[in-house]
Amino acid sequence: MGKNRMRFRSENNLKFAVVVGAVLLALSFPAEAQQPKKVPRIGFLESGGAERTKSRLAAFEQGLRELGYVQGKNILIEQRYAAGQFEKLPELAAELVRLKVDVILAGGAPAAHAAKEATTTIPIVMGNAADPVGTGLVVSLARPGGNITGLSDFFAGVITKRLELLKEVVSSATRVAVLLNPANPTNPLQRGQDLKRH
Task: Note the pLDDT tens digit of each residue in 10-55.
Answer: 445 545 554 555 455 545 555 444 555 788 999 999 988 988 888 8
Rounded Cα–Cα distance for residues 73 and 34 (Å)? 19
**For the segment 92-145, what is each residue's pLDDT rounded down to a tens digit?**
999 999 999 999 999 888 999 999 999 999 999 988 777 777 778 888 877 888
State residue 44's pLDDT score: 94
Rounded Cα–Cα distance for residues 159 and 111 (Å)? 21
pLDDT surpasses 70 at 3: no
Question: Can you tell me the mean pLDDT for 53-66?
Answer: 88
Numbered ranges of CATH 3.40.50.2300 in the chain: 2-153
Q: What is the CATH number of domain 2-153?
A: 3.40.50.2300
State residue 152's pLDDT score: 73
Report the C-alpha dihedral over residues 128, 158, 165, 3, rounded to 10 degrees.
-30
Contact 47, 130 (CB under 8 A): no
Count of CA atoms in the C-beta half-sphere (13 A) of 83: 2
State residue 99's pLDDT score: 96
